[in-house]
Structure 1
């Protein structure tokens, strides 16, 4: 009888290993206490998340009950005080897959979710997460556990980022939520207008909605390089802005300077090198005054840099640039696969 009991316990333990529950335990408290109601809309056609292997066992990553109930309970547990806003989370994709290599495996999490404020005229977009997270069995054999933790962390970041932002002025109906991306992009003036307004744009929303900061005038140095924006006695280095338009040409501020923004039928993009978006501390790119290294991304770029440092200009010309899209819903870079990797 004792042997049978031990075997039963062992069987139960094996069964438990076949499931990894997403533990929604991080704090997602809204310090503003601005939210009255919270709703989860799960529009995923397949509610299964996916699985990875642990030795010879398949481990499914799951919610304890389901996404709607668990995330709703998590939110209200952290936010017992009510405000006035009706907060909505739209789940678009949660998918876990495994890429098996010869001697290891890579677990991959694809997660896309968006937040809205529901008002009388419809749903107003706030923010979204559209990301891929990976973990290697070379780092940990517990791929399912690591991916479940990453799921919680990504949702936590989505909530906390959303609390800081104002909802967009454009509204869409509940029936149109599955198509919100294309509907909202169609309303963004920066993607349609032929003549851009000169000036500085403090964040991605003001840029994509084409609303420069009032009263600011762009200033250049003696070499024609934009260094600051001035509004009366107030002077701001250009690095403090998301983007600017100078003489009708849009530029994106990046760590080593700024780069021209281009437009095609897919949206906005820049041509940039990995070393410019993610410069190392020993980078030879120069920072001028307010933090600018030239009109990177155009013929004038190399001229401007060469006037200051011929070595930096030569180094930039020797490295191939890559098209990197700008996400109108987050302002983030959409990096192509293998960005910055040499063949």
Structure 2
């Protein structure tokens, strides 16, 4: 009887360990410009398994349909893009891992992701975008961690794919065998990182800053005190859309939710002195522009930041991704 009970328990554990949470690819990844011809996955991971996270102490393995990520993404792409264009897009999977992380009080669900995308022209690859982040799911707040993990993964994939359709490329041609070291190769050719001095002027976007190609269409708008409050166009009208920043006397300034911040550089790249709380605040471009023009950056925009936390106590170096311009929050 004891032996029978033991095998029944063992069987139930095996069944529990085999539970699967599928990643349902439901977001819209239609290329509105209709330029996309293909979307190819290059999986650079050593371990092809994503891993598992638990719900009520039962592990769920995170999988794509038929346990084939490449096929699932390809079906998704073709389903949303009936009319194909001429551009071949590549999605490089560098890190994709789900796992449980025990804490003193519970077990967190974790998802580590690093994805990069490229445009392929002939036999050359050109970097477009990158998404690198770590996500945590807590049993106290998140009802079903495996489902949330799968949903988050689906959302991340749709985000980088949609960015890849519209973002400009970095003009550094790579061979396929160089994709493993794409960052090291590209960084050596970025002017903003490797030039001793920066070119003065307004930079509409991060790519123009990388190339050190300021725009002649815009100028910095300053108040009577000489403080930058935004940008103006050739007609001397305030620019409402959010531009990247400007360089003055060789010093770079980036537009952020709390106004212009000086960008400094060390051996790791460019950074600003601020807080995650300030820079991750979700405010609209119009709100930023309006607040700058009105000279109330410390008011309307800063008011959107959680006032419960002391910004000064959280001031730190926050680095800027040298290939995308995104903030890197450790």
TM-score band w.r.t. shorter chain: 0.7 to 0.9
- The answer as to 2:148 corresponding to 1:154 is no
Equivalent residue, structure 2, for 1:55: 56
8 Å contact from structure 2 (residues 275, 311) kept in 1 = no
Equivalent residue, structure 2, for 1:186: 188
Equivalent residue, structure 1, for 2:264: 262
Equivalent residue, structure 1, for 2:305: none
Shift in Å, 1:200: 0.9
Shift in Å, 1:179: 0.7
Shift in Å, 1:56: 4.1
Q: 1:229 to 1:176 in 2, by over 3 A?
A: same
Counterpart secondary structure, 1:235: coil
Equivalent residue, structure 1, for 2:81: 79
- RMSD over aligned Cα, in angstroms? 3.0
8 Å contact from structure 1 (residues 121, 171) kept in 2 = no
Aligned counterpart for 1:133 among listed residues 113, 132, 135: 135
**C-alpha distance in structure 1 between counterparts of 2:194 and 2:231, whole Å:** 26
Greater mean deviation of Cα atoms: 100-109 or 205-214: 100-109
Shift in Å, 1:319: 4.1
**C-alpha distance in structure 1 between counterparts of 2:257 and 2:188, whole Å:** 30
- The answer as to 2:322 corresponding to 1:322 is no
Cα deviation, 1:156-191, whole Å, max 9, x if unaligned, reads: 111112222122222111000011111111111000
Q: 1:239 to 1:112 in 2, by over 3 A?
A: same
Q: 1:193 to 1:292 in 2, by over 3 A?
A: farther
**C-alpha distance in structure 1 between counterparts of 2:281 and 2:57, whole Å:** 43
**C-alpha distance in structure 1 between counterparts of 2:158 and 2:72, whole Å:** 14
Cα deviation, 1:299-339, whole Å, max 9, x if unaligned, reads: xxxxxxxxxxxxxxxxx995452000011232211012xxx
Equivalent residue, structure 2, for 1:142: 144
**C-alpha distance in structure 2 between counterparts of 1:112 and 1:133, whole Å:** 12
Shift in Å, 1:100: 1.9
Shift in Å, 1:151: 0.6
Counterpart secondary structure, 2:100: strand
Could you tell me the TM-score, scaled by structure 1's length? Answer: 0.79
Greater mean deviation of Cα atoms: 133-142 or 155-164: 133-142
Greater mean deviation of Cα atoms: 124-133 or 16-25: 16-25
Counterpart secondary structure, 1:30: coil
Equivalent residue, structure 1, for 2:47: 46
Structure 2 residues without counterparts, runs of 5 or longer: 1-7, 284-289, 299-309
**C-alpha distance in structure 2 between counterparts of 1:279 and 1:35, whole Å:** 33
Could you tell me the TM-score, scaled by structure 2's length? Answer: 0.82
Shift in Å, 1:293: 5.0
Equivalent residue, structure 1, for 2:93: 91
8 Å contact from structure 2 (residues 54, 109) kept in 1 = no
Alignment of 1:246-257 (within 5 A): 246-257=248-259
Q: 1:89 to 1:320 in 2, by over 3 A?
A: closer
8 Å contact from structure 1 (residues 93, 110) kept in 2 = yes
8 Å contact from structure 2 (residues 28, 158) kept in 1 = yes
**C-alpha distance in structure 1 between counterparts of 2:237 and 2:109, whole Å:** 48
Shift in Å, 1:218: 2.9
